[in-house]
Every structure is written in structure tokens, then in C-alpha cells.
Amino acid sequence: MGRKRTHTSEEIVAKLRQAEVLVGQGKTVADAVRSIGVTGLLPVWWTPG
């Protein structure tokens, strides 16, 4: 098993903003999440807005 890494609030916000930009550029939420390196989430539950 891998070691869990905790992220600071600033890192989380930056990743969410980056994902929002990617979705705005036409990527699907799933592709955007993969692009920013987030794993272990159900991206279906997160929608920008």
C-alpha cells in the first residue's frame, strides 16, 4: 500500500482551479481529474460551478 500524502488547502484549491480550467477547455471532468493527478475519487460527484 502507498503512503497517503496530505495536501495543504492551497494545493487543493490550485488543483481544483486547474481542473476547472481544463473542463472549460472542453475536457471531461474525468479527463481533467486524471490530468491533474488526482486518484481515488469519484469525479462524477464533483462539478465546477
**Nearest-angstrom CA–CA distance, 26 and 33:** 13
Rounded to an integer, what distance in angstroms lies between the CA atom of residue 31 and that of residue 3? 24
pLDDT at 6: 80
Query: Residue 18: its pLDDT value, please?
Result: 94
| Consecutive 10-residue averages of pLDDT for the chain (49 residues) | 74 91 92 84 57
